Amino acid sequence: MLYSFDAVQARLEDYVYVPDKNFKLTHTGFPSMEAGLAQKSRQYWADKSIPNEVKLEGLNFDLSAFDGENTTTREMMALSVALEELGVVDRDVGSIIGGMNCDFNSAGNQINFGKKIDAFAYLAIALDDIKKYIDEGHGFAKPVLVSMNTVLTVMLALKERAEQAKASSLIDTHA
C-alpha cells in the first residue's frame, strides 16, 4: 500500500469514523499505520451517508465512454492507476481493479492485455467464490471479502459517474 499511502491519507484526513472490526484487515503484512488507513478507506467507501460524487471528488477525467460491463484489462489497469494516484483507493483495492481477469504465461507476462471483460460479472463470480471459502471455514477470505466489496462499491460509483457523464453529453434535439 505504500504506493498510494500519502494520497489516501490526505484524501481521508477529514473523515471521522468509529473503527468497525468488520473492516479490520488482519495478516496483511502492512505496518499498523497502513493497515489502519486501509480499514479507514474501506469504511469510507462503505459509508452510505457520503454520496458517490464526494467519494470520487477530484476524479477530473471524462468517464462518458467507460462501461464496466464492456471494458478491457488494459482500461481497468489504467483506471486503477489513476484512482490510486488520486488517493481514491489504496494499492490493495487498486490492484484488484487493475488485475481483474488477467492471465499470465509461465514467464509472468500478461497475455490478455486487451481482452474484453465484464468487470461486474467478474466481481460477482469472485464474491461467490470468496463466500464459499468463508462458509468452508477459511478465515483468510474474510479480509478479501471486505476488499472485494470495496472494489464493487467503487465500480458502482464509477458506473454512476459514467452514466451521468453520458447523460450530460447528449444533445437536446428538441430545443
Cα radius of gyration rounded to whole Å, the chain = 17
User: Do 123 and 152 meet the contact criterion of CB atoms below 8 Å apart?
Assistant: yes
User: What is the C-alpha to C-alpha distance for residues 119 and 100, in angstroms, rounded to an integer?
Assistant: 7
pLDDT value for 41: 93
pLDDT at 11: 93
Q: How far apart are CA 170 and CA 163, in angstroms?
A: 11
- Coil, strand, or helix at residue 107? coil
Beta-carbon contacts of 7 under 8 Å, excluding residues fewer than 6 positions away, are 84, 85, 86, 87
pLDDT in tens, 1-43: 456 888 999 999 999 988 888 887 766 666 778 888 888 999 9
Give residue 51's pLDDT band: very low, low, confident or very high (50, 70, 90). very high
pLDDT of residue 170 exceeding 80: no
Q: What is the mean pLDDT of the chain?
A: 88
- Whether residue 68 has pLDDT greater than 60: yes
CB 119 within 8 Å of CB 153 = no
pLDDT band at 64 (very low <50, low <70, confident <90, very high): confident
- Can you read off the three cell numbers belonging to residue 68? 464496466
> Which pLDDT band, with edges at 50, 70 and 90, does 131 fall under?
very high
Q: Please give the pLDDT value at position 125.
A: 95
Angle CA 67–112–159, to nearest 5: 15
Percent of the chain clearing pLDDT 90 (strictly above): 57
Has this prediction a pTM greater than 0.95?
A: no
**Whole-number pLDDT of residue 8:** 92
